[in-house]
């Protein structure tokens, strides 16, 4: 029985390697970081923004393009992140939570200079979400 388990484990490891599992996923630059491929013609410029009125800090900001997302904790407001993507259809999102304070927290996503979505929430520890397609 033990021999069968070792064989199965070895086969699973080889399968994972054969499927191109990337063990170098340690980037901290967030989704849409410009590289040679995304700097090519047809790349979309994406701008994520979080602002506050009566709120000076977001306890967390989670932003993403497609299935890739990153998080900034304790972000001073206004907060802004610029990214690029060569995806034909962009699915973009941002979720932010205000810290202390009873003001308003607002998120906005702009793609190629056009506002895709904007939303606001009010109150202490308020959560605001913006998501859309471009």
Is the residue at 3 inside a domain?
A: no
Is the residue at 1 inside a domain?
A: no
Is the residue at 123 inside a domain?
A: yes
Number of domains in the chain: 1
Q: What is the CATH classification number for the domain harbouring 86?
A: 2.60.40.2880
Is the residue at 59 inside a domain?
A: yes
> In terms of Cα–Cα distance, which of 101, 110, 116 is closest to 58?
101
CA dihedral 81, 87, 90, 92 (to 10 degrees): -30
Q: How far is CA 121 from the centre of its chain?
A: 20
pLDDT tens, the chain, 134 aa long:
444 433 333 333 333 333 333 333 333 455 554 443 445 578 999 999 999 999 999 999 999 999 999 999 999 999 999 999 999 899 999 999 998 778 999 999 999 999 999 999 999 899 999 999 98
C-alpha distances out from residue 130 to 13, 19, 90, 121, 125, Å: 39, 34, 14, 11, 17
Domain that holds residue 45: 31-133
């Amino acid at each position: 029985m033990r021999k069968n388990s070792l064989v199965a484990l070895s086969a699973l490891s080889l399968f994972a390697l054969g499927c191109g599992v990337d063990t170098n996923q340690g980037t901290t630059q967030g989704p849409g970081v410009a590289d040679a491929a995304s700097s090519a013609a047809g790349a979309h410029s994406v701008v994520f923004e979080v602002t506050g009125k009566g709120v000076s800090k977001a306890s967390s900001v989670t932003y993403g393009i497609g299935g890739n997302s990153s998080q900034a904790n304790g972000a001073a407001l206004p907060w802004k992140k610029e990214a690029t993507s060569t995806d034909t259809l962009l699915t973009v999102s941002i979720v932010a939570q205000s810290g202390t304070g009873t003001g308003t927290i607002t998120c906005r996503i702009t793609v190629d200079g056009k506002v895709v979505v904007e939303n606001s929430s009010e109150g202490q520890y308020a959560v605001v979400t913006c998501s859309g397609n471009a």
